[in-house]
Amino acid sequence: MTSRFAKSTLATAIGAATTLALAGLSLQAQAATEVSVGYAISSDSHYGAGSRAFKETLERLSDGEFTVTDHPSGSLGGERAMIEGLQIGTVDVVITSTGPLGNFVPETYVLDLPFLFTSYDQARCVLDGEIGQELLDKMGEHDLVGLAWAENGFRHITNSRRAIESPEDVRGLKIRTMENRIHQQAFEDLGASPTPMAMPELFTALQQGTVDGQENPLTVIVAANLYEVQDQLSLTGHVYSPAIVLGSPVLIDGLSDEQRVWFDEAARAAAEATRAEVSRLEEEGVAFLQEQGMTVTDNVDPAPFQSAIEEVNAEFVEQYGDDMLERIRNSDC
Ligand code: EAX
């Protein structure tokens, strides 16, 4: 009895183990590939909306073959660090402004020139057209994959010292800029003291008074709660800030053609979601920030700002030529 019982138990155990092993195998065969998406601001930002759209689209199109994990708030590092991560494959997809991108892909500096774009329609049209595609393709020469142009928005100056109506008001202020030499130079030409810094350090730097001010689109001023540590907002709109959905070549180059189509669609959905959120905040952001106690200067004449920093264009052209700049200026957009 004892031995028969033992035998049958053993048989059952073997059977169970085999079933488990087979289940394990088939689970393994179907195991979803995890795709990490990183960005430097909170999940309730326009990039958060982009990341959710990316996840929804990729998981739906791939029928669960890929699952997407969201890494907001610079949990994978600032934008420059995340771009490095893409190059070596420690992060799969990043939604970032072009802020630090020129350090990797100098061809994108042209997009960071102040007062180049004058409306959302114009910027979106250029980025969605031939020029935008050409710049996306350039990423491939720098160990990155450009998936889609997204959006951050027109940038405005905030500070804790005074209302900014003219370039003279910027003089002497310590202004945090992105890690972008075009922007740094523009603020230097305005007589400010530009302090490049990664986004995740910004709130504390403003809170502790390491810098007096910063510049960002309404989207970021709202999402990063900058109104808690800044009381002046001047609607300078001095530069359009593009964002981009970038992929890691370590992941993307290994995809099948079909999978690549899913990623492209997911990136486009992400880009659209960021733009929708930018548009919503263009409507509602200023009123919200006023409710939070910010004083808003909205009668800013851009002309004196533009002439104070026009030297940036000449220096850009000297270093990178005027081909792309002229093409953007002369495009039908
Ligand atoms: O990409 O660093 C910045 O000021 C950017 O506008 C922000 O991180 C969104």
Give the C-alpha separation, 199 to 112, whole Å: 17
Residue, of 8 and 54, whose pLDDT is higher: 54
pLDDT at residue 6 is higher than 70: no
Query: Average pLDDT of 56-78?
Result: 98
CA 318, 324, 330, 333 torsion-angle sign? negative
- Beta carbons within 10 angstroms of residue 70's beta carbon: 16
Mean pLDDT, to the nearest integer, of 297-322? 96
Whole-number pLDDT of residue 7:
45
Q: How far is the CA of 221 from the centre of ligand 1 (A)?
A: 10
Nearest-CA residue for atom 6 of ligand 1: 216
Centroid of ligand 1 to alpha carbon of 199 (angstroms): 6
Amino acid at 149: W
Tell how far the Cα of 179 is from the centroid of ligand 1, in angstroms: 10
Give the type of residue at 55.
Answer: K
Q: How many folded domains does the chain comprise? A: 1
Return the residue matching tokens 């899913």.
262
Q: How far is the CA of 219 from the centre of ligand 1 (A)?
A: 10
Q: Tell me the backbone φ, ψ of residue 215, rounded to 5 degrees.
A: -140, 135
Tell me whether residue 17 is in a domain: no
Mean pLDDT of the chain: 93
Residue 6 falls within a domain, yes or no? Answer: no
pLDDT for 15 beyond 80 = no
Return the best residue to mutate from 37, 39, 41 for the ligand 1 pocket (most ligand atoms within 8 A of CB): 41
Ligand 1, pocket-test mutation among 75, 108, 176, 241, most atoms within 8 A of CB: 241
Determine which residue's CA is closest to atom 1 belonging to ligand 1.
97
Pick from 114, 52, 134: nearest CA to 241 = 114
- DSSP assignment, residue 208? T
Measured from the CA of 176, which atom of ligand 1 is nearest?
A: 4
Q: Give 162's strand partners.
A: none
- pTM (predicted TM-score): 0.91
Residue 19 lies in a domain: no
Find the 97 Cα to ligand 1 centroid distance in Å: 6
pLDDT at 30: 66
**Domain extent at residue 258:** 32-329
Asked if residue 141 belongs to a domain, the reply is: yes
User: Rounded to the nearest whole angstrom, what is the distance from the C-alpha of residue 2 to the centroid of ligand 1?
Assistant: 72
**Which of 97, 154, 206, 240 has most ligand 1 atoms within 8 Å of CB, for mutation?**
97
- Give the residue whose CA is nearest to atom 8 of ligand 1: 199
Whether residue 16 is predicted with pLDDT greater than 90 in this model: the reply is no
Residue ranges lining ligand 1, Cβ < 6 Å: 40-41, 79, 96-97, 99, 152, 178, 199, 216, 220, 241, 243
270: CATH: 3.40.190.170
DSSP-assigned letter for residue 32: P
What would the pLDDT profile of 137-184 be if each residue is shown by its tens digit?
Answer: 999 999 999 999 999 999 999 999 999 999 999 999 999 999 999 999
User: Would you place residue 29 in the very low, low, confident or very high pLDDT band (cuts 50, 70, 90)?
Assistant: low
- CA 22 – ligand 1 centroid, Å: 48
* Residue with CA at minimum distance from ligand 1 atom 2: 199
In this model, does residue 53 exceed pLDDT 60?
Answer: yes
Q: What percent of the chain has pLDDT over 90?
A: 90
pLDDT band, very low/low/confident/very high, at 312 (cuts 50, 70, 90): very high
Look at residue 10 in the predicted model and tell me its pLDDT: 45
Query: From ligand 1's centre to the CA of 158, what distance in Å?
Result: 14
Answer whether 255's CB lies under 8 Å from 263's CB: yes
Asked whether residue 298 is assigned to any structural domain, the reply reads yes
How many whole angstroms separate alpha carbon 134 and alpha carbon 130? 6
Please count the CA atoms within 13 angstroms of the CA of 229 that sit on its side-chain side. 17
Nearest CA to ligand 1 atom 5: 97
User: In this structure, which residue's CA is closest to atom 9 in ligand 1?
Assistant: 97
**Mean pLDDT across 295-313:** 97
DSSP assignment of 111-140 equals GGSTTS--SHHHHHHHHHSHHHHHHHHHGG
Residue-level pLDDT at 31: 85
Give the Å distance between the CA of 202 and the centre of ligand 1.
Answer: 10
